Amino acid sequence: MLLYIRLSRALSKSGVFLLLGLVFLFIGFTKDTYVDWNTGYAGYVLIGGGLSILIGLFIFIRNLSGSASTLENQQEDFLFNHIAPEEKRKYLALGALFSLHPYRTVECLNKFFLQKPEDILKGKENINESWGIVDMTSAKKQLDWLLHSGHRNDKTIITQKNALIAQLRNPAELTEEISELIKNVNQITYSIHSKQIDYINPNIIYNFTNLSGWDYIRGASMAKDCYNLGYLDENETWRYILAFNELVVQDFSSWEQLAVSFLVGRYIWSGDPYQEWYIEHFSWLFSFYPEEDVNEFQQNIWKKYPLSEL
């Protein structure tokens, strides 16, 4: 299968050069039959055809051998080696917010940019700084907190959530900061067409009631990180990911609702009404590939796996 992937890639990358070279050689060798020109021009055509074929063969061999180490090639090989079992891929959509580069590797439990020793070391430093996770025990402690309690059950956060809901139910009393939050949340791109951009339903935020999405998305993503950093084994990781998915299905009826829940929860926690990085990355979950480009291999993860099918 990997050979087939590399062969297809090699042909697609080198095909133009090989075809052009063959055409030039054909014209050069048959000049007296099809084209009436002097020998000097024919020689240039033959040289050009030969060079084109050599370039094509060079590209073909590099791609077939895997030595053409472009990001696209690395991604395809990584997918072949690490893509999750088909029946489990949909559950990885929940934590996809933090797993989008390169896009299709979101369907792998392994993370594309957590493979090299230096990247793993940096990942361990980051998760320790953010969560105090240094081993399996501390990893499970934080994951269990997100799973069973989280910010959604924090009394201070709940008080702030209720105050925000009161404002959302009475738009005339919205503060400037909440208005900014609403404006930015409603910039999440739901789909892109050649002549039109569609955004998420602007009414969802006004009907906000639940900030648990802030906990669930972080939990699913953290479980995946802990697996890649060596703090959880595969079975334990899937147990957490599936548990967070079960809670999401109980609390939300669409990915749009979940995205808004996360953003509002993060706003209450951080005080940031702009959230540019998160708005952009939520948009990619819905519309990374324009509608015209969507195919078997290029599908937007939150369109490919509707929340109702989890």
Within 10 angstroms of residue 106's Cβ, the number of other Cβ atoms is: 24
Among 15, 20, 13, 16, which Cα is nearest to 63's? Answer: 13
- Give, in order, the Cα–Cα distances in Å from 100 to each of 119, 127, 165: 16, 18, 31
Please determine, for residue 202, whether its predicted confidence score (pLDDT) is greater than 70. Answer: yes
pLDDT given for residue 32 in this prediction = 56
How large a percentage of the chain has pLDDT more than 70? Answer: 84
- The model's pTM: 0.79
Buried residues in 164-193 as b, exposed as e (16+ CB within 10 A): bbebbeeeeeeeeebeebbebbbbbbbbbe
Residues paired with 83 in a beta bridge: 108
If one compares 128 and 66, the residue with the highest pLDDT of the two is 128
Report the pLDDT averaged over residues 97-102: 76
Give the model confidence (pLDDT) of 21-51 as tens digits. Answer: 777 777 766 765 555 555 556 667 677 767 8
Please determine, for residue 1, whether its predicted confidence score (pLDDT) is greater than 50. Answer: no
Query: Mean pLDDT, the chain, as a whole number?
Result: 87
Q: Judge whether 176 and 184 are in contact, CB under 8 Å.
A: no
Residues paired with 189 in a beta bridge: 199
Report the pLDDT averaged over residues 16-21: 75
CA distance 266 to 271: 8
Report the pLDDT averaged over residues 259-272: 96
CA distance 255 to 27: 58
Q: Can you tell me which residue has the tokens 């030039």?
A: 24
The model's confidence at residue 182, banded by pLDDT at 50, 70 and 90, is: very high
| Amino acid in the structure at residue 197 | I
Please determine, for residue 3, whether its predicted confidence score (pLDDT) is greater than 60. Answer: no
Please determine, for residue 286, whether its predicted confidence score (pLDDT) is greater than 80. Answer: yes
- Give, in order, the Cα–Cα distances in Å from 39 to each of 24, 26, 30, 154, 195: 14, 14, 11, 86, 52
The helix or strand, by DSSP H or E, that contains position 267, with its residue range, turns out to be helix 255-270
CA distance 70 to 66: 9
CA dihedral (120, 278, 263, 232) in degrees, to 10, reads -20
pLDDT given for residue 75 in this prediction = 76
